[in-house]
Each structure stands twice: as C-alpha cells, then as structure tokens.
C-alpha cells in the first residue's frame, strides 16, 4: 500500500481566495481540527508577510498537536542578498517551527520578468536559502513554483532549479502547477520523469484554473509523488487549489493509498462544513463527497434502483465520508421516491406501487410542483402532505377567518395588525397581534392564538424566511414562493407556500411550520372540558 502524506495549506493559500478571511482564532481552530482529522502537515501561514500569521505561530505553540507538524511558508532570499540578511528568511526562523516550505522560481520567464534577475542568480538564491535553513536544523520542503510551465518552456533550466534545491539538502521537492493550466497527461509525464531524476521525495501542488486540480493531483500520485498539497473545500487563489475533500477519499477509497485512517475519513463532511462556517462561506451543495447534494437522488428510475441496491447509483457509501443519502421529491419523481421517503420518515402507511392512494399523492405532488411548490427544501411540508394523503393525519387547528390591516401614518411608519379566528378542537379562539410587517403580525397572531393550547410553540423560532418570484414577467401579479426554516431546541425543518399573494404564501408556510413542529412533539392540545 503506497503511503501518501497530506499537506494542508488552507490557512495560507486558502486565505488568498477571494472573499476568504480568517482571524487568528479561526486559524487556530482549523489547525486543531485538521490535526484531529489526521493531516500530516499544516501550513500555518507566511510569517514574513503579515502580523496575523506572526501571532498564529506564537499561539499555536500552546496547542499540542496529536500528529500534525506545523509548517512556516516563505520564499527564497531576494536576489543580491544572503539568506542570513533576508527579512523573510529571518521571519521563518523566528516562527520557531521545525519545518519550512520555501518557494523559488522554476520558469525562466518568471526569473527575468517577475524576479528581475538572471538565471544563475536565481539558482544561487535557491541553493543558498535551502542550505541556510538546513544549517539551522530545519526540515525544508522546496516548492518549485510554476514548475510545469517552466519545464514546458525550458526543461533544462527548470530541472536545474530543483537540482539546486536537492543539492542544498531539500527534504522534499514539491512540483507546483501554479497557474493551474496543465493537463493530466502532462502532469503525469513530467512528474514521472522528475521522480526518476531526483533522489528526494516528490510532492504535488496544483491549482484549479482548468478544473483539473484534483485529477492532476491523482495522476501525480500515480506517477510517483508521495505528498499532496491542497486546501479544505478547494479554497485558494483565483479558482482555488486542489480540494482535499475530494483528494483524500480518492486516495483512500479509489487508489487504496495509506494517508488517513479509514475511521477518520468519516469526519470529512463535518470538516468541510466546519471550515465553511469559519470562513463565512455557504457550503457548496454540489461538492463531490461532502456536498449536501453529493448523494441526493431525484429521478424516479434512480430511486427505484436505489431501493434494490444503493450501488446502482452511488460510487461509494455516503457514510464512508460522513455524508448521508437523500431522496428528493419533485415533478420528476416516480412512485419509488414516495415509497422511499415514507420508509425514511418511518410513516406507518400502506405504500406500494399498486396502491391507488400512492398514485394520487404522486399526481398531487406533480401538480403542486407545476404550480410552483418545491419540496426539496421543505421536507416538513412534504411529510404533512403524505400524512394528509393517506388519511392518517388531523390538522391541529383550522382557520375560520383572517384579516390583515396595514395603515400608513403621518410619521411614515407602517402599522401592521393581524386579526385571526381559529378553531382548535371544539373551541374557537379569536385574537389579534401587531408586527413590524404583515407577515410578522400574522406570525405573532398565530402564535398568540395557539400558545394556550400548545405551549411548546414557545420553543419554535423562525430561523430563515425566503421569498422568490416565480414568473417575473407578470410584474406585481407574479406568483411567489415562500420558504421558511424553523427550529426548536433540538431540530430544524423547512416548509413552503405558493400563491399570487405573498401573505397567503406566507400563511401556508407558517401553518405547515407550526403543524410540523407539533407533530414532532406528538402533543395534544390542552383544552378545557
């Protein structure tokens, strides 16, 4: 079994992505999480570039790593300088790490146009920088920046740059596809050749500008690379880096490499979402392996096969990476979707392909979706629909009348009041409530009317409220879809409403929200008499 080490650069290269910013506390939390996940090397940052990274290296010493080694990143010394006089090199030493990763130029075009020096001086600063850090007792990884572009342009010189780092004592040479434009077969051929020419281990660092970072990392490993660098969720410069959330399961489950204990792999989805949260980025639902949609099934034919064997439409078991299987219900659904969801929800109803009630529910769902309803984000509304369709569910309350009053006053404030009459069991309750808008007033009145019967409503809170216009061509007369997310102390659920009137759509979603919350509690109203 081939052993591969994992090198995470989320805290440095990942933060170079647009919209990504991590505080020192965030970086410390992520480092601890990566260590517990089993990552071998964690690049903490560039201590010579900003105060935040300097503080990180000071504070990370107070966190005992289970297995990960903290790495400081930097560049070779500047042309014309000796390493001992270079501020960047000094900052690496001041960070008090045991491992340094320094990058140097491999592409002659970059040497002359970006670094503004000659080719021989570039070779000198590479060798001297590596040699100096080694003399100070550090392990040194040399990152050959733009190596693949450099090799394609001038193979002889690109090779000389990495040989200079090897001769100076580099412990590993990482070949970088910095512009992210190389193709897998190019990566494979060049890595294979470099593995033959070098006597130190080779690593791979790819960017995703051609949507090939993960593929390029995989072929590099197959060609002999023994270290893969990347970031959680693929965060990074421009289009990002190789996504470790895809790289890791590919290495373990597809190539059979030894890089992470199998039991640790189940924490991958949690790691992805944890880093997303700290980076203040919405998780990508379509991200392979760890995305919310990675194992979501919608087509009826797919679900029918899944009921027989999940392997028919899943390349791995979702549980292997800590994810879950989801079956969606929509106008594309077949009866298998309905049956699967009923079994998943543990509904005690008679569901089979020949049951006429099953067909009726399926047709109702398709008709509602044609009207604009969407149950993919509103599974609570879907469960209520199923229960109603099979006569196993009774509404906890029924509307008698509802009136909304809007009044614009001289102070330009909008006054909103909802007056509501409900039937709960055999009792009528009539009440009113104000709000900062009509929907808020409606929500307040509904809760006020029901709390005496269902005290547990007090634990329910509206967490999100979204409105989407479905047919904008009709202007203010357009249909709107309202999606509501509600949570209590233990759970959250989504409900939906659709109408040409936003109040009616909101009412539908609010009623389902409270009804489902009560269904979860399985409580009966407290009534007098």
For residue 363, is pLDDT > 70? Answer: yes
Q: Within this chain, do residues 436 and 493 fall inside the same structural domain, yes or no?
A: yes
Q: How many domains does the chain have?
A: 3
Average pLDDT over residues 502-518: 93
Domain presence at residue 170: yes
pLDDT, tens digit, for every residue of 402-444?
999 988 877 767 889 999 999 998 899 999 999 888 888 999 9
Domain presence at residue 441: yes
Q: Within this chain, do residues 198 and 136 fall inside the same structural domain, yes or no?
A: yes
What percent of the chain lies above the pLDDT cut of 70?
89
Residue 358 lies in domain: 296-364
Q: Which residue stretches of 395-485 are H helix?
A: 438-450
Q: Within this chain, do residues 101 and 195 fall inside the same structural domain, yes or no?
A: yes
Cα separation, 410 vs 401, in Å, equals 30
Domain presence at residue 188: yes
Q: What's the CA angle centered on 519, arms 348 and 355, to 5 degrees?
A: 30
CATH classification at residue 213: 3.20.20.70
> Of 69-83, 131-145, 420-434, 483-497, which gets the smallest average pLDDT?
483-497
- String of b and e for 323-359 (b: at least 16 CB within 10 Å)? bebbbbbbeebbbbbbbbbbeeeebebebeeebeebe
Higher-confidence position of 376 and 156: 156
CATH classification at residue 462: 3.30.160.270
- How far from each other are the two terminal CA atoms of the chain, in whole angstroms? 73
CATH classification at residue 312: 4.10.430.20
- String of b and e for 152-170 (b: at least 16 CB within 10 Å)? eebeebbbbbbbbbbebbb
Cα separation, 439 vs 274, in Å, equals 33
Cα separation, 297 vs 325, in Å, equals 8
For residue 476, is pLDDT > 70? Answer: no
Average pLDDT over residues 289-293: 91
Residue at a domain's end among 364, 388, 423: 364
Cα separation, 213 vs 234, in Å, equals 9
pLDDT at 353: 55
The one-character DSSP state at 146 is T
Q: Within this chain, do residues 402 and 445 fall inside the same structural domain, yes or no?
A: yes
Cα separation, 379 vs 361, in Å, equals 15
Q: Within this chain, do residues 314 and 460 fall inside the same structural domain, yes or no?
A: no
Q: Dihedral angle at the C-alpha atoms of 30, 36, 41, 47, nearest 10 degrees?
A: 30
Q: Within this chain, do residues 89 and 232 fall inside the same structural domain, yes or no?
A: yes
pLDDT, tens digit, for every residue of 201-255?
999 999 999 999 999 999 999 999 999 999 999 999 999 999 999 999 999 999 9
Domain presence at residue 19: yes
Cα separation, 499 vs 96, in Å, equals 63
pLDDT at 341: 67
Query: Could you give the C-alpha distances from 209 to 237, 241, 346, in angstroms and in order?
Result: 9, 9, 45
Query: Could you give the C-alpha distances from 400 to 28, 381, 396, 424, 528, in angstroms and in order?
Result: 56, 21, 13, 10, 20
Average pLDDT over residues 55-59: 96
Q: Within this chain, do residues 402 and 360 fall inside the same structural domain, yes or no?
A: no
Q: What's the CA angle centered on 363, arms 377 and 495, to 5 degrees?
A: 20
Please choose, from the candidates 457, 465, 466, the residue with its C-alpha nearest in 3D space to the C-alpha of residue 488. Answer: 457
Q: Within this chain, do residues 256 and 312 fall inside the same structural domain, yes or no?
A: no
Q: Within this chain, do residues 320 and 444 fall inside the same structural domain, yes or no?
A: no
pTM for the structure as a whole: 0.75
């Amino acid at each position: 079994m081939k052993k591969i080490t994992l090198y995470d650069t989320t805290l440095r290269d990942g933060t170079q992505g647009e919209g990504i910013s991590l505080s020192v506390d965030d970086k410390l939390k992520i480092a601890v999480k990566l260590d517990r996940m089993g990552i071998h090397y964690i690049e903490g940052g560039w201590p010579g570039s900003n105060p935040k990274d300097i503080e990180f290296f000071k504070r990370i010493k107070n966190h005992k790593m289970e297995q990960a080694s903290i790495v400081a990143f930097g560049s070779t010394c500047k042309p014309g300088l000796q390493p001992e006089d270079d501020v960047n090199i000094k900052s690496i030493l001041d960070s008090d790490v045991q491992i340094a990763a320094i990058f140097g130029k491999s592409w002659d075009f970059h040497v002359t146009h970006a670094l503004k020096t000659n080719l021989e001086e570039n070779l000198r600063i590479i060798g001297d920088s590596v040699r100096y850090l080694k003399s100070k007792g550090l392990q040194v990884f040399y990152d050959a920046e733009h190596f693949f572009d450099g090799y394609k342009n001038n193979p002889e010189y690109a090779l000389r740059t990495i040989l200079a780092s090897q001769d100076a004592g580099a412990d590993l040479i990482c070949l970088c596809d910095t512009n992210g434009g190389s193709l897998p077969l190019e990566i494979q051929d060049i890595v294979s050749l470099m593995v033959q020419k070098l006597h130190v281990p080779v690593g791979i660092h790819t960017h995703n500008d051609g949507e090939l970072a993960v593929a390029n990392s995989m072929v590099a490993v197959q060609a002999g690379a023994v270290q893969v660098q990347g970031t959680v969720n693929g965060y990074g410069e421009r289009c990002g880096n190789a996504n470790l959330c895809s790289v890791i399961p590919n290495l373990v489950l597809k190539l059979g490499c030894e890089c992470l204990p199998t039991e640790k792999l189940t924490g991958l989805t949690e790691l992805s979402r944890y880093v997303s949260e700290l980076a203040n980025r919405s998780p990508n639902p379509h991200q392979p392996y760890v995305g919310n949609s990675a194992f979501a099934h919608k087509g009826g034919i797919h679900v029918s096969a899944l009921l027989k064997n999940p392997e028919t439409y899943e390349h791995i078991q979702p549980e292997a990476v800590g994810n879950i299987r989801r079956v969606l219900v929509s106008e594309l659904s077949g009866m298998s979707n309905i049956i699967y969801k009923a079994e998943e929800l543990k509904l005690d109803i008679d569901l089979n392909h020949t049951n006429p009630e099953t067909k009726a529910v399926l047709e109702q769902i398709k008709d509602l979706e044609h009207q604009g309803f969407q149950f993919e984000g509103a599974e609570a509304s879907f469960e209520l629909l199923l229960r109603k369709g099979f006569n196993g569910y009774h509404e906890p309350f029924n509307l008698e009348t509802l009136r909304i009053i809007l009044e614009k006053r001289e102070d330009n404030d909008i006054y909103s009041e909802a007056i509501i009459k409900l039937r709960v069991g055999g009792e009528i309750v009539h009440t009113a409530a104000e709000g900062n808008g009509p929907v808020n007033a409606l929500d307040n009145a509904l809760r006020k009317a029901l709390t005496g019967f269902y005290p547990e409503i007090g634990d329910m809170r509206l967490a999100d409220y979204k409105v989407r216009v479905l047919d904008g061509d009709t202007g203010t007369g357009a249909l709107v879809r309202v999606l509501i997310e509600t949570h209590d102390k233990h759970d959250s659920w989504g409900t939906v409403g659709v109408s040409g009137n936003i109040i009616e759509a909101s009412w539908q979603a609010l009623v389902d929200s409270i009804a489902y919350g009560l269904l979860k509690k399985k409580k009966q109203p407290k009534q007098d008499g």
